[in-house]
Amino acid sequence: MAAQPFYSRGMSNTEALLKVENLRVEVPTRRGTLVAVDDVSFDIAPGEVLGVVGESGAGKSLTGAAIIGLLEPPLKIAGGSITLAGRRIDNLPYEAMRRIRGKEIGAIFQDPLTSLNPLYTIGRQLVETIRTHLDLGPAKARGRALSLLREVGIAGADERIDHYPHQFSGGMRQRVVIALALAANPRLIIADEPTTALDVSIQAQIIALLKRLGRDHGTAIMLVTHDMGVIAETAHRVAVMYAGRIVEIGPVRRIVDRPSHPYTKGLMASIPRTAGPRGRLRQIDGTMPRLNAIPPGCPFSPRCTEALDRCRRERPDLMPANETQAACWQCAPVAEHANA
Amino acid sequence: MLAFIIQRLFQSVLVMLTVALIAFALFNYVGDPINNMVGQDTTQADRERLRQDLGLNAPFVVQFARFVGHAVQGNFGLSYQQARPVGQIILEKMPATLELSFMAAFLALLLGVPMGIYTGLHRSSWGSQALLAISLVGVSLPTFLIGILLILIFAVLLGWLPSFGRGAVVHIGWWTTGFLTAEGWRAIILPAITLALFQMTLIMRLVRAEMIEVLRTDYIKFARARGLSNRAVNFGHALKNTLVPVITITGLQLGSIIAFAVITETVFQWPGMGLMFIQAVSFADIPVMAAYLVLVGFFFVIINLKSPPPARCLRVPCRGRGGHGSPTAICGGAFAARR
Amino acid sequence: MTVVAASVACVIIGAALLAPLIAPHDPYDLASVSLLDATDPPAWLPGGNWSYLLGTDNQGRDVLSTIFYGTRVSLLVGCSAVLLSMLLGVTLGLIAGWRGGIADTMIMRVADVQLSFPAILIALLIDGVAHSLLPREVQTRITLYVLIAAIALSYWVHFARTVRGSAMVERSKEYIQAARVIGVHPARIVIGHLLPNVIGPVLVIATINLATAILTEATLSFLGVGLPPTEPSLGTLIRVGNDYLLSGDWWISVFPGTVLALLILSVNLLGDWLRDAFNPKLR
């Protein structure tokens, strides 16, 4: 499947595979309701890799969990909609959502060590997943399991299919996890920090694997990570999240080379570079606000070096800026700017 | 690994010897064994002769060695109270205790495991809260009170079941069993339930706690993410992982069932080894007491040898109210009474 | 829920402490007890007598009064046993944790071995053996102490374990090292610095163990190796009443039994609450 040109939200002529619109995830606590994901919207086109990047606690994983329907109570979707291939999936009953999980949407989590049940062979876990979604007999299912294992690069698949998880190394285990996620050939995979728990050398292999599989199967990938380097390698588009909101979204090259939002600029600037003059490592002062202490207006304003008065009062929505979209009043048309 | 086993074996032998020493000390130095055995009229000369014959003038170590030697063969001398070999008395009483204990263990598992699974899966349902509240009571009520209560309701007020004894038993070889008669079955119900009750509570809380822990793991999350059915996730994956530590701990608990049988047997006048011990205490029947000591020591040593070290750091929520499950270490003995 | 438990516990404990003042009769004053009143049912049943509210036992003693005094004894034994085992366990735990080495190994070995036996069995064995060892005359007088000692000896392990663990952790912390460098005497370090820092969980365990100690004492008394009928605890009362259960005089054991159950339950709940309150993870 050849790569198609990808467009920003709302402007594609290929129908988006996943449409997330104004998604809001809340958690009721004793001290009031906290908003963990606030008015998040984005699309993913078939076969596209969308990177979702941000600090810990920015709401990236929760967005993924909401999409696949695995929010742990008391977290719940409090607004917005999630549409998969034209069909709304955020309000489906459990059983209907379960059929979608694995078959249409797959997931990969961070720690391959704990993602696999230690008491069952990987073959059994693969076959079980395959037979849940595809109508195959045990022999055919095993055959498919074997080919999946080979595809993810596990040597000696015929033997290793009957091994237990603890008999695999970390990188191998993550490959098994990927195989499991792909078992029923889903159209979208949500990969939540798939390389964070791995050695750096293995990371590159896994990323390459994901890219290849995505291309070969035409699977879209929502790649959640805090590692900008991985994003730059792999994604077509990037969404930058901060305090539960998307602050900038656009093609990866734009975001990396010419970010518009001050936060994104800070992120890019803080990546150490080996080329060029090496000055002091830049960082963004302050920390991301906790869920119960999100400032009014733009959530980044307390830390923003370019903040205007307006930023502290009014919350900016995503608006067009330099071939990306950024939620920043700085990007507002000059006329509006003059009135601020 | 081998070193570990050897160390364990060594430790076990040491424990056994200590127990045997205590038993022996009891045997020989409590009162005067001679006085306990003969009548008032026996002359001093005869007593001396008896003492010599029984080798009671030999040095301590020799006597101890002889004691251990006899003990290993199951010879504990004659009971003061019944004037017959202690070994024989024990063989007579053992089937009663063993049958009761196994029945109780069986009941505890039969009811405890499903209840634990249910309360683990449906944490906040009314049924779960009710079961947990009842289990709290089960843990707090002393075993003997439960027994008395059951007797009051089922034997005194309703008259359905017998309040003491074992009913008619059938002899098979040296074993006597109450399982082959209707009366025997009726007699074993109340004692078995009494004995099983707190084990059941313990098992239920254990299974529930493990289940909740397991359901929180990443592999369960991943299983759900793959779209596996609830049945496959809960019973295929979660249950299997839950039962592994539960089985280990339950094995250890078998020992405490045998210990608590003492109480139950007393309440129900069940003719087992526990009742035998209690009666021996009130009569100061040293040989029987010593034998019981050694036997119990042996039994526990075996149990602990077969299982891993008493769940030292198995922080399992056992007394968690309302599902919060604050971890409490299960340390075989210290909390066994309470459970 | 805890409020209910706390108030129930307070009522029971208060009643027990004030027993001599508020009990309608003194059941151990032989002059006031008459066999003619023996086994009278509770006041609201036919044959009952309002001066003996909950009926009388086989000797004519007022059940309500015996419950007051009995609870007193039960609490006395329970608290003493816990205090003693706390003392023993904490001391041994501190020694093991502070000195390490041989002392530690030995103490922990013993602890391990003891842990492989159920505590109540140990208490039973110690107490039972002591009972038969002592000549009759001495028995009744020191039964109380033997009982307390037996229970204390079966529960010290948990204290020792916890304290040892905490001690080992604290021992390597800087403030302890600083004290050693300055030259403070080890005993002062242990008591003055180490002890306050490990005492938290100890108190929680103590409260939880109180319920167990009361339960153990009741069980031992019921089995006949605890307190005698002349100075009964709730367990003894139940034992005495057990013989009359089958003939229908249920009140002699049921009332003490209920009080015992309530006492243990409320102490348990309090212990739970205390533990949850002290658990930093739940805050």
Q: How does pLDDT run across A112-148, given as a tens digit for each residue? A: 888 899 999 999 999 999 998 888 889 999 999 999 9
Q: Residue C278: is its pLDDT beyond 80?
A: no
H-run or E-run covering C243: helix C234-245
The H or E element containing residue A225 is strand A220-225
| Confidence at B148, pLDDT banded by 50, 70, 90 | confident
Reported for A119-122, long-range contacts at CB under 8 A and 24+ positions apart, including other chains, are: A119/A164, A119/B240, A119/B241, A119/B244, A120/A164, A120/B237, A120/B240, A121/A161, A121/A162, A121/A163, A121/A164, A122/A149, A122/A160, A122/A161, A122/A163, A122/A164, A122/A165, A122/A168, A122/A176
Q: Which of B61-75, B107-121, B215-229, C16-30 is the least confident region?
A: C16-30
Using the beta-carbon criterion (under 8 Å), do C116 and B136 form an inter-chain contact? Answer: no
**pLDDT greater than 70 at residue A12:** no
- Min mean pLDDT across A126-130, B11-15, C240-244 is at B11-15
Mean pLDDT for the stretch of residues C147-165: 87
Residue ranges of C 148-187 with Cβ closer than 8 A to chain B: 154-155, 157-158, 161
d(CA B268, CA B218): 49
Q: What is the spatial distance between Cα C190 and Cα C201, in angstroms, rounded to a whole number?
A: 17
Instruction: Tell me what percent of chain A is helix, strand and coil, each rounded to the nearest 5.
Output: 35, 20, 40
Strands A18-29, B175-177: pairing kind: unpaired
For residue B162, give both structure tokens. Answer: 């017998």
Provide the shortest C-alpha distance from residue A5 to chain B (in Å). Answer: 30
Residue scoring higher pLDDT (C2 or A169): A169
CB contact under 8 A, B225 and A132: no
Tell me if chain B has a CB within 8 Å of the CB of C278. Answer: no
Nearest CA in chain B to A132: B228
Give the residue-averaged pLDDT of A44-64.
Answer: 88
pLDDT band, residue B28 (cuts 50/70/90): low
Chains B and A touching, counted as 3 or more CB pairs less than 8 Å apart: yes
Q: What is the pLDDT of residue A49?
A: 92
> What average pLDDT does range C143-149 have in this prediction?
84
Structure tokens that stand for A161 in this block: 């299919």
Tell me the pLDDT tens digit for each residue of B82-91.
778 888 888 8
pLDDT for res B310: 43
CB contacts of C276 in chain B (<8 Å) are: 321, 324, 326
| Of A179-193, B302-316, C19-33, C140-154, the least confident | B302-316
Please report which confidence band the pLDDT of residue A239 belongs to, taking 50, 70 and 90 as the band edges.
Answer: very high
Reply yes or no on whether the pLDDT at B68 is more than 60. yes
Q: Which of residues 99-128 of B touch A (CB under 8 A)?
A: none
pLDDT for position C32 = 60
ipTM of the complex: 0.82
CA distances from C63 to A72, C55, C186 (A): 55, 6, 54
From B222, B228, B240, residue closest to A132, measured CB to CB: B228
- pLDDT given for residue C280 in this prediction: 61
**pLDDT of C43 over the 70 cut:** no
Reply yes or no on whether the pLDDT at B334 is more than 50. Answer: no
pLDDT bin (cut points 50, 70, 90) of residue C151 is confident
Which whole number is the average pLDDT over C222-243? 82
- Mean pLDDT over residues B221-227, rounded? 90
For chain A, percent of residues with pLDDT exceeding 70:
91
Q: Which range has the worst mean pLDDT, A156-165, B309-318, C62-71? A: B309-318
d(CA C80, CA C70): 15
Q: What is the pLDDT of residue C82?
A: 92
> Which chains contact C through at least 3 pairs of Cβ atoms less than 8 Å apart?
B
Span A195-221, average pLDDT: 87
CA closest to C125 among chain B residues = B293
In this predicted structure, what is the pLDDT of residue B254?
78
User: Regarding predicted confidence, which is higher, A285 or A172?
Assistant: A172
Which ranges of B122-235 would DSSP assign to H, the alpha helix? 126-140, 143-150, 182-215, 218-225, 230-231
**pLDDT band with cut points at 50, 70 and 90 for residue C174:** confident
Distance CA C78, CA C207 (A): 11
**C134 or C157, which is more confident:** C157
A and C touching (3 or more beta-carbon pairs closer than 8 Å): no
Q: For C226-230, what is the mean pLDDT?
A: 78
With pLDDT > 90 as the criterion, what percentage of chain B qualifies? 1
Instruction: Please indicate whether, in this complex, the C-beta atoms of B225 and A100 are within 8 angstroms of each other.
Output: no
Of B260, B245, B252, give the one whose Cα is nearest residue B301: B252
Judged by CB atoms closer than 8 Å, whether chains meet at C238 and B11 is answered as: no
Residue B125's φ and ψ, nearest 5 degrees, are -70, 165
CB contact under 8 A, B244 and A99: no
At A52 the pLDDT is 92
**Residue B163: its pLDDT value, please?**
77
Residue B27 has pLDDT above 50, yes or no: yes
Residue B333 pLDDT greater than 80, yes or no = no
For residue A154, pLDDT over 80 is answered with yes
Give me A104's structure tokens: 């249409």
Residue A86 dihedral angles phi and psi, to the nearest 5°: 85, -5
Is residue A65 within a helix (H) or strand (E), and if so which, with residue range?
Answer: helix A60-68
pLDDT at A257: 85
DSSP result, C27-40: TT-GGG--GGGTTP
pLDDT of A6: 42
What confidence tens digit (pLDDT) does each residue in C83-119 have? 999 999 988 888 888 877 888 888 888 888 787 778 8
Which pTM was predicted? 0.76
pLDDT value at A222 more than 90? yes
Contacts of A128 in chain B (CB under 8 A): 228, 232, 236
The answer to whether residue C218 scores a pLDDT higher than 80 is yes
The token duo for A128 is 């079980």
Per-residue model confidence (pLDDT) at position C140: 65
Confidence of residue A340 (pLDDT cuts 50, 70, 90): very low
